[in-house]
Amino acid sequence: MIGPRLAAALLALAARRWPVGLRDDMHREWSAELHVLADEGRPARMVGYAFSLAVSRPAADPLLDRSRMTKRFWATAATVLLMPVLCFAVLIVTAIGANLVAAALGWRGPAGEQMSPLFTALCCIVGVLLGLLATRRGARTALRGRVRLAVALVLPSVVAIVLVINLLGSAEKVVRVVPELLWWSAGMVAVLWAAGSLAARGRVTAAWWVGVLGAFLVADVAIAITVFGHTGPPEYIPLDYGQGVYDGVSRVWAPLWLPTMYTGGMHGLPGPTSWEVAQVGDATEFTPYVYLVFGAYLLAYAIGAGRGEPVQAAADSVPPSPDSPTTASVGSGSGSGSISA
């Protein structure tokens, strides 16, 4: 009696190593073969057969297909490392395009109320295009764990932002935006985790709402951190000659600083004033538009990865067709599942 019980335990262990959708079928087939050996009164052969199944590699198991996983890993690494470069490339092209449009329309001199909405609209368009690409790449990601995926996405993006600020500006500007980038990094990790979790549960619309609103809130606070640290309260500075000037910004309008950067002003609302908008722009420079484009890419990738989780699980558990090599090799794969007379 020990032999059949040991064989049954080994058979159950072997079945657990197969994808969920194949376990029951494999276990039933193997159990039938064990019954044949039991009828022949060969307990030792039963244990040997069950042991060989328990220690052998499952045939054509996609979860253990190392070549497939290696290819997916390198594709994921290339996407995560190169997408920040692509984001900055499209930002540069977008800025050039906005200036060409402004020149074609005859805009001259300071035209923040015209240029900012135009640049924002173009950034939204390229953000959608980047999002479509990122969604497809996210569905094929090799990263597992939503926090791990969020960190892996945000970290290269922050490094790229720091390098570009240092390249176009100076080390002093990098130091100035460090608190802002630290907040944005931590906030985006949380937003990506929440959006990815909702997408994995099939609540894709809710994932987009949470992601877009959360990314906007994180960027709004990030802008405020830099403005608070490098501007003072509003004050009027008289001059010995001519009209005096205003300096500083009112903290009351802090939640509206990011929208003013995107729209070029509040268009009739009492604040922030035009000179406050100008100072906010001087303090933050191009980071509001970086957050717009990078936020679209990061959200699309995280939601695509969340939507791809159940799809990949289902693909891994689809039973093979009767003519596939997997079924043909069951019971004889690895030279350990055959029954000799």
pLDDT at 59: 52
pLDDT tens track for 244-279 = 555 667 777 788 888 888 887 666 677 677 777 777
Local structure of 247: helix, strand or coil: strand
* Cα distance between residue 213 and residue 309, in whole Å: 24
Tell me the sheet residues that pair with 245.
237
pLDDT at 69: 58
pLDDT tens track for 24-79 = 777 888 888 878 888 887 777 887 787 777 766 555 444 445 555 567 778 888 88
Other C-beta atoms lying within 10 Å of the C-beta of residue 196: 28
pLDDT at 248: 67
pLDDT at 272: 76
Tokens of 293: 């484009």
Tell me the sheet residues that pair with 3.
none
The CA-based diameter of the chain, rounded to the nearest angstrom, is 112
* Cα distance between residue 172 and residue 162, in whole Å: 11
pLDDT at 191: 96
The better pLDDT of the pair 331, 238 is held by 238
Is 223 in contact with 261 (CB distance < 8 Å)? yes
Nearest residue to 288 via CA among 231, 224, 229, 233 = 224
* Cα distance between residue 84 and residue 293, in whole Å: 10
What are the Cα distances from residue 15, in Å, to 26, 31, 131, 248, 330?
7, 11, 40, 70, 12
* Phi/psi of residue 284, nearest 5 degrees: -100, -25
pLDDT tens track for 73-114 = 788 888 889 999 999 999 999 988 888 887 787 765 544 556
pTM of the model: 0.67
* Cα distance between residue 209 and residue 146, in whole Å: 18
Is 262 in contact with 277 (CB distance < 8 Å)? no
**Dihedral over alpha carbons 77, 80, 82, 85 (to 10 degrees):** -160
Strands 245-247 and 235-237: antiparallel
If pLDDT is split at 50, 70 and 90, which confidence band does 234 have? low
pLDDT at 189: 95
pLDDT at 308: 73
In sequence order, the 6+-apart residues with CB closer than 8 A to the CB of 91 are: 123, 126, 286, 289, 290, 293
Mean pLDDT of 212-239: 81
**Residue 158 CB-density burial (10 A; 0-12 exposed, 13-18 middle, 19+ buried):** middle
pLDDT tens track for 131-186 = 999 988 888 887 778 888 899 999 999 999 999 988 887 778 888 889 999 999 99
Nearest residue to 162 via CA among 149, 176, 150 = 176
* Cα distance between residue 44 and residue 180, in whole Å: 69
Mean pLDDT of 188-200: 94
Nearest residue to 249 via CA among 269, 226, 272 = 272
* Cα distance between residue 218 and residue 294, in whole Å: 13
324 pLDDT more than 60: no
pLDDT at 175: 86
pLDDT at 341: 34
Residue 203 gets the label, from left (phi > 0), alpha (psi -120 to 50) or beta, of: beta
pLDDT at 303: 93
Nearest residue to 85 via CA among 246, 286, 237, 297 = 297
pLDDT at 314: 44
The better pLDDT of the pair 210, 244 is held by 210
pLDDT at 58: 58
pLDDT at 194: 95
216 pLDDT more than 70: yes
